Amino acid sequence: MNIFGSGRFLSHRGKVETEMVGPVSISGESLFSNRWVKAIGIVLACGVASELVYFAYKRIKRMCCDNAVRNNDQKQFVEEVLFFPDAQIACKEFFVGDGCRRLNCRFTHEHNSLSRLYTFLADAKQSLDVCVFVICCADLGDLLVTAHKNNVRVRVICDDEQIDITGSQIWRLRKEGIPVRTDNSSYLMHHKFVVIDGTHLLTGSFNWTRQAISGNQENLVALRNMRIVSQFSSEFEKLWKEFDPKRYNESSLHRYEDLPVS
């Protein structure tokens, strides 16, 4: 293909002058291949751009949905009953952490009983008095540690025979500085209740284990009836004193004897 071009030269008068030169020859094959390169480049650029737009759209859409779910879950403490098992484990980071950053989170971001339990515990402002037979769930242990670090007074009572079982959170809690007391008895410390800020209560059959969350039939009642809550508070205080290791020799609650055969 030929096209015309121009050139510059120094005339005999010492001036720079312009004259038409050419025709300039550019091969048709070269121009053709340049066009193809451009076309492919444009297609690739469009493809990448559309991927980026789609990725951003998905991300924004998910953030909007997540915020809606989180906001809805942060409602005030209400009296309700939670039933377990949950079909999926709730994502702790999503409901009470800094937000879930996993693109493919294997935990659910949908409301369920565990997500409510997370919220109840994370909402504690002053105190968490936990009196539960067994504590093996690391996510719930995390919430106690976080509360303790946020200057919430956390106290834990559990059964002495459960503190060394696989997954037990008790030694970890103690290491973090959370006081844990146990019975010292062949009988069981079989309660499952939590008093939150001295004003709210969680009680039921629910132990703090993964099996209770995702396998067992369990219930947990959330109450703020002060008449009931104060009775549980008193029971906690009574056990806290009785389970003081200094009193192991004098308390009637610490005893080892042959249990009756059922």
79: tokens are 């009296």
Total residues belonging to the chain: 262
Q: How far is the CB of 139 from Zn ion (least distance, A)?
A: 12
Annotate each residue in 96-135 with x if it binds Zn ion (CB under 5 A) or - if it does not, as one string.
Answer: ----x----x-x----------------------------
* Alpha-carbon torsion angle 130, 132, 134, 140, nearest 10: -40
Residue of 73, 89, 92, 94 interacting with Zn ion (CB under 5 A): 94
* Using rule CB under 5 A, residue 90 touches Zn ion: no
Q: Which is nearer to Zn ion, 91 or 189 (CB)?
A: 91
Judge whether 191 counts as a catalytic residue: no
Active-site choice (92, 192, 200, 254): 192
Q: How far is the CB of 96 from Zn ion (least distance, A)?
A: 12
Judge whether 190 counts as a catalytic residue: yes
| Ranges of H-type helices in the chain | 28-73, 92-96, 113-122, 138-149, 170-175, 210-214, 226-242
Q: Which of these, 168, 171, 131, 175, lies nearest to 149 by C-alpha position?
A: 175
Judge whether 92 counts as a catalytic residue: no
Q: Residue 111, Cβ neighbours under 10 Å: how many?
A: 15
Q: How far is the CB of 95 from Zn ion (least distance, A)?
A: 9
Residue of 82, 89, 90, 91 interacting with Zn ion (CB under 5 A): 91
# chain residues binding Zn ion, by CB under 5 A = 5
Q: Which is nearer to Zn ion, 73 or 129 (CB)?
A: 73
**Piece in contact with Zn ion (CB under 5 A), picked from 41-49, 79-87, 92-100, 254-262:** 92-100
Q: Which residue has the tokens 């444009």?
A: 42
Q: How far is the CB of 58 from Zn ion (least distance, A)?
A: 15
Q: Is 69 left (phi over 0), alpha (psi -120 to 50) or beta?
A: alpha
Q: Which is nearer to Zn ion, 88 or 205 (CB)?
A: 88
Q: Which is nearer to Zn ion, 91 or 201 (CB)?
A: 91
141: tokens are 């242990």
Q: Which amino acid is at 41?
A: G
Active-site choice (190, 238, 241, 244): 190
Q: Is the dihedral of CA 244, 250, 252, 255 positive or negative?
A: positive
Q: Which amino acid is at 8?
A: R
Q: How far is residue 53 CA from its own chain's centroid?
A: 28
- Rounded-to-integer distance, Cα 69 and Cα 74, Å: 9
Strands 153-158 and 180-182: parallel
Q: How far is the CB of 97 from Zn ion (least distance, A)?
A: 9
Q: Which residues bind Zn ion (CB under 5 A)?
A: 91, 94, 100, 105, 107
Active site residues: 190, 192, 197
